[in-house]
Amino acid sequence: MADVVIPQVPDVDIDPKGVFKYILIKLTVPNTDGKLEEKNIVRGYASCPYHSDINDKVTEELQNLKSSKVIRDWRSKVLGGGRINHDSNAKDLKVYGYSQGYGKADHQVAVDILKKKYCDYNVTWSDEGSVERQLRPLVIHVTTLVKSETPRKKKGKLKSMDAIVLVTAVERAIKNFIEKGEQIANENPDFSKEMLAAVEEVRTTGNAMSVASREFAQSPCDSQKRNEMVKAARNLLSAVTRLLILADMIDVQLLLKSIQVVEDNLENVRNAKNPDELAQHLKLYNRNARELLTQAGRRQQELTDPRTRDDLAAARAVLKTSHTMLLTASRAYLAHPDVPAAKDNRDRVLKQVCEAVSTINDVAQGRTPKLGSGIPEGPGKLATSFDKFDTKGGLNYNEVRTKAKLQQQLEELINGAILISEADNIKDERKQRIVDGCNAVREALQGLLTHSMKTAGGTNKEVDRAMDTMTRKTRDLRRQLRKALTDRISDSFLGPNTPLLAMVKAAESGNAQEVETCATAFNEHCKKLFEVANQVCEMSNNEDGIKMVRYAAAQLENLRPGVISAAKLLAVQPHSSAAKKNMEVFQQQWESQMQLLLDAVDDITTVDDVLSVLENNVFDDINQYLTALQEHDPAMLSRIRDSIQGRSNRICDVVTAEMDNFEPCTYTKRVLEAIKVLNEEIIPEFNKKTEMVVQDLVKTPNKEIDENEFIDATRLVYDGVREVRRAVLLNRADEDLDPEEVELEHNYVATNTLVKSIVQTNEITREENSEEMSGITVVREAMSKLPEEKKHKIMEQVEKFQDEKLTFDREVDKWDDHGNDIVALAKYMCIIMMQMTDFIRQRGPLKSTADVIHAAKNISTAGTKLDKLTRQIAEQCPESSSKKDLLAYIERVALYSHQINIIAKVKADVQNTNEDLIVASVESATSLIENAKNLMNAVVLTVKASYVASTKYSRQATSSTLVVWKMKAPKKKPLVRLEKPTEVRAIVRKASQKKPQNPVKVLSEFHTSIEIV
C-alpha cells in the first residue's frame, strides 16, 4: 500500500528495541469523498503479553482518532501475528514466528512495511521459529559423526564423507540451538536463571563436541579419538535432554499460571454483585479462558496416554461450550437472586466449569483427573463375550478345559442377551427370537462338544459341520440383539427433544406444577436414553466410537439438572427476559449435545440394522394410520403422520451420512436418488393428504373418507422406504445379508384389511383371483397367521437350500462359462431357483404367481436344453460307470424340473376355513423349496459327471469337443490396497488422533506456548 493512503494512521508503531509480539492489520477508512481506502499497518509492543492485547491497543488508538475527528470511521481485520527482534544497536530487525490465535502473518508484507520506516536497517524475516527445527539437524549430524560402521558397497569405488563439512554443520546447529534457548530465557524472566544455566551447559558440551569431532576428522582411524568424540556427543545430547525437560517444566508452569488466573476469574464471577461488575469479570474470564484453551490444546497434542488425552479434550470441550450458559445463568441469578432455581442453575454451571479447569490442572501436574475417570474403557462386554466364544470354539478340544470354558462363556453371553431382551420397550416377538437364539446356540454348542468328544480332538466333516452350525447360530443371535438395540434406538431417539419442548412450553406459560410433572418425564426420558446408549456400547467393538458415546452421554447427564433449573426459573418468572434468554441457551445446548450423542450412536451401529428396523417401524405406523383412518381419529392421524415423517427423516439422514464414506459412483447415485424420491416426492404428498383429511375430520367428524386413496399413499411410503434399503444393500456380499429376514417377511404381510384394500384400490388383476391361482400365491397372506413351528419348518427348508447353494457355488462357479453351455445353463437355472425361493421369503424380482409360473417354465426349458447337451456328451463317452452316472443325473434333472413346473401351476386347495388356507400355503412353499434344493443338487452332480465324461476318456480324432472345461480366472486385485468400508468409517471417527510423539516436541512447542491471543 502506498503510504499516502490514510496518512492520519502511521504504517508502523513498534517498540524501539527488544523482542516482542506484533500483529499485521488490514485497515479500512473512508476518505472525505466517502470512498473506502485500505492499507496494512504493523503494531508491536513488549508491554502486551498477548497478541489480542495489541489488537485492543490498536482499537483504542483508532477510536481516539475517530473521537478527535481525525478519521470519520474505521474497520480493521487482523491478518496474523508473529514476533519482532529489534536490535537498535546493530540496526537489525528480524520478523518470525506466528500467533496461535490469529495465525501466522505474511512476514514478507510486514518486512516491506517496516523497510519504509527503517530504511537504514537490515530487515529480514525467518520461518525458523521453533527449537525443534534447530535441534533436528543437530541430532542428524551428531548421529552421522558417531556412526561406528558404514555398510560397504558391493560394487564401485568407495568414497569417504567430508568430515569437516559435517563438523561445521554440527557447530552451526549448536549455535542456532543456543540462540533459541537464550531467546526463551529472555522471554521468561522468572525462569531465566535455570534456562541460561541449561543453555550454558549445552554451549560447553557443544564446544567439547566441536573440538573432539575436528580431531577425529583429522585422524579418523584413531580409536581413542573416536571414543572421545562419542563421549562428547553423549554429553551434548544429555545436556539437550536436560534443556528439554526444563522447557517442559516451564511450559507446565505457564499452564498452571493460566489455570490460576481462570480460577480467580471464576471466583470473581461468582461474587459479582451487579451486572456491570459481572460483565467486567466475564470479559476477563473469556480472554483468559481462550488463552487456557490454547495452551491446554497444545498440551493435549503432547500427551502420550490416550485416556488422559481424551479427558483433557473433554474438559476443553466443557470449557469452550459453557461460556454462554455461564453468562446467561449469572445474569439470571443477578436479576432474580431470591429464586432458588436461579442460584441452583448458576451454581451448577460454575461447578461444571470449575471441574473442567480442575481436570486441566490435574493433567498438567500428571495426576489422574476426576472428570471421565468413571467412564469404562475398551470394547463392550457383550461384544467381547461373543468374540471370545467364537474364538474358543475353534480351539483344539480338551474335554475338561475346553468344555468348561465354552460353557462358562456361553452362560455369560446368554445372560447379557437376556438382559437386553428384558428391556421395557423390546417387543414380545423380538424377545422370543432372542430366547430361541440363545437356545439354538446352546444346542449347537452341545452338538459340537458331542462330535468333538467322539473324535478326541481330531477333525472330520461332522465336527466342521457342527462348528459351522454353531458359528451361524451365534451370528444369528448377535444379529437379533443388534436389531433389538436398533429398535430401542429408533424408539428412544425418535423425537428425543419432545419432553424438553413440553417442559419449556409449560415453563413459558408460568405453570410451575406442570413443569414439575414435565421434569419427571424428562428425567425418565434421559434415563432411558442413557440406558440405550450404554447397551449399544456393550454390543460394539469400536473402542473409539464407544468412548465418544459415553463421553457424550456424560455431558448430557451433567447438563440435565441445569436444564431443569432453567425451566423452573422461567416458570417462576415467565416474563423475565433474563430467564427467557437463559432457558433458550440451555435448550440450544441440550439439543446440540443430543445431536452429538445421536451421531456417536450412529457411528457404532450398522446402517443395515437401522434400515431394517426403521422399515418395520414404518410398516407398523402405517397399520396404525389405517386403523386411525377407519376410526376417524384426527389426533392419532397427526401423531402417526409425525412419526412416519420422523422415521423417514432419520432414514434419509443415516443413509446420506453413510454415502459420505463412499466415492461418488453408480451405487451412491442410485441410493441418493432413492432418498430424493422419498424425501421430496413421497413424504410431502403423504403429509399433504394427511393434513387435508385431518382438517376435514376436525370440521366434520363423521365425514365419509375415501380410504383407498390413503391406503395407496401409505403403500407408496412403505415402498419408498423399502427401495432406499434395497438400494443400500446392493453392494453387500451374501454373507453380510440377513439369511432369514424373518421379521421382514413377517412384518411385510399386512392385515387382511390392508391387503384387501390395496388390491381393491389399485384394481390389481392378479392371478390370485384367476383360474390359475396356486398355493404359492397365498403364502404372503398365510405367513402372517402361521404359528412359530410352521415358520420354523419353512425356514429349515430355506437353510437346507442355502447349504445346497454353497455346494453349487463351490463346484460349479469355479468353471468359466465362456464356451461351456453346460455351466452357463446350470448357473441360469440356479439363479431362477434362487428367485423362486426368495419369492416365498418376500425377496427377489418375482412379484406374482404369473412370475413364478413363468420362472418354472424357464427352468423346464433350460432343463430340456441341459438334457439334450449332456446326452450328446454321454453318447461320445464309452460304456463306463461315468456314462451311467451321467445318464442317471440327467433323469433327476428332468424329474425335478417337471415337479417344480407342476407345483407352480397346481391350484390352491382353499376351503371354507382359514386353517385349510394356511395348510395349503405351507405345503406349497415347503414343496417348492425342497424341489428347488433337489434340482440344484442334481444339476451339480450333472456338471461334475459331464466334466468326467468329457475329459476322462480319449476321443476319436474326428470327434469335436462340445464344451470347453476351463477354470475361471481369479478376480483382479488392485495394485494399491483399497480401504475397506470399516476403515473408511474409521477415518471420520470423532476421537483424539494418536500421532507419533517426537522426543523434542516439548521444547519445540514451548516457543509457541506463549504466542497466543
807-824 pLDDT per residue, tens: 777 777 778 777 788 888
Provide the CATH number for the domain around residue 35: 3.50.20.20
Please count the CA atoms within 13 angstroms of the CA of 490 that sit on its side-chain side.
Answer: 31
pLDDT attached to residue 918? 45
Query: Does 101 fall in a domain?
Result: yes
- DSSP letter at 842 equals T
Provide the CATH number for the domain around residue 919: 1.20.120.230
Look at phi and psi of residue 50 and say left if phi exceeds 0, alpha if psi is from -120 to 50, else beta: beta
Cell of 315: 474438559
pLDDT attached to residue 41? 93
Dump pLDDT digits (tens) for 848-876.
Answer: 666 777 777 788 888 888 888 888 888 88
Phi and psi, residue 79, nearest 5°: -90, -10
344 with 259, same domain?
yes
In the chain, which residues have pLDDT < 70?
1-5, 100-101, 127-162, 370-378, 391-402, 455-460, 733-788, 790-791, 840-850, 904-925, 954-961, 970-1013
Neighbours of 405 (CB within 10 A): 15
Query: Does 556 fall in a domain?
Result: no
Quote the CA–CA distance of 1007 and 97 in Å, as a whole number: 9
Widest distance between CA atoms in the chain:
118
711 with 804, same domain?
no
Quote the CA–CA distance of 30 and 40 in Å, as a whole number: 15
Query: Does 332 fall in a domain?
Result: yes
Q: Which helix (H) or strand (E) holds 445?
A: helix 428-455
Last residue of some domain: 101, 125, 149?
A: 125
pLDDT attached to residue 910? 34
433 with 348, same domain?
no
Query: Does 590 fall in a domain?
Result: no
Q: Which residues contact 817 (CB under 8 A, 6 or more apart)?
A: 823, 824, 827
In 3-state terms, what secondary structure has residue 705? coil
Nearest to 374 by CA among 554, 236, 201, 219: 554
846 with 758, same domain?
no
Q: Please, what's the b/e burial string for 133-156 (b: 16 or more CB within 10 A of its CB; e: otherwise)? A: bbbebbbebbeebbeeeeeeeeee
Write down the pTM of the prediction.
0.56
615 with 728, same domain?
yes
Query: Does 35 fall in a domain?
Result: yes
- Specify whether the CB–CB gap between 255 and 299 falls below 8 A: yes
pLDDT attached to residue 795? 73
390 with 360, same domain?
no
Reduced 3-state DSSP string for 847-912 = CCHHHHHHHHHHHHHHHHHHHHHHHHHHHHCCCCHHHHHHHHHHHHHHHHHHHHHHHHHCECCCCC
Last residue of some domain: 335, 364, 393?
A: 364
Last residue of some domain: 428, 449, 477?
A: 477
* Helix (DSSP H) and strand (DSSP E) numbers for the chain: 33, 6
Dihedral sign, CA of 603, 609, 615, 618? Answer: negative
Please pick, among 51, 107, 141, 525, the residue that the annotation labels catalytic: 51
Beta strand segments in 99-229, E? 122-125
833 with 930, same domain?
yes
- Specify whether the CB–CB gap between 659 and 786 falls below 8 A: no
Quote the CA–CA distance of 847 and 830 in Å, as a whole number: 18
How many domains does the structure of the chain reveal? Answer: 5
Q: Domain range spanning residue 264?
A: 252-364
Calculated CA dihedral for residues 458, 460, 465, 470, nearest 10 degrees: 0
Query: Does 156 fall in a domain?
Result: no
Query: Does 502 fall in a domain?
Result: no
385 with 359, same domain?
no
357 with 402, same domain?
no
- Specify whether the CB–CB gap between 615 and 738 falls below 8 A: no
Q: Which residues contact 330 (CB under 8 A, 6 or more apart)?
A: 269, 272, 278, 282, 346, 349
Quote the CA–CA distance of 80 and 99 in Å, as a whole number: 7
Quote the CA–CA distance of 105 and 132 in Å, as a whole number: 21
Is 21 marked as a binding-site residue? yes
Query: Does 267 fall in a domain?
Result: yes
Reduced 3-state DSSP string for 351-385 = HHHHHHHHHHHHHHCCCCCCCCCCCCCCCCHHHHH
697 with 621, same domain?
yes
CA separation, residue 69 to residues 40, 64, 676 (Å): 21, 8, 59
357 with 471, same domain?
no
919 with 815, same domain?
yes
Q: Among this protein's residues, is 51 annotated catalytic? A: yes
- DSSP letter at 228 equals H
- DSSP letter at 189 equals G
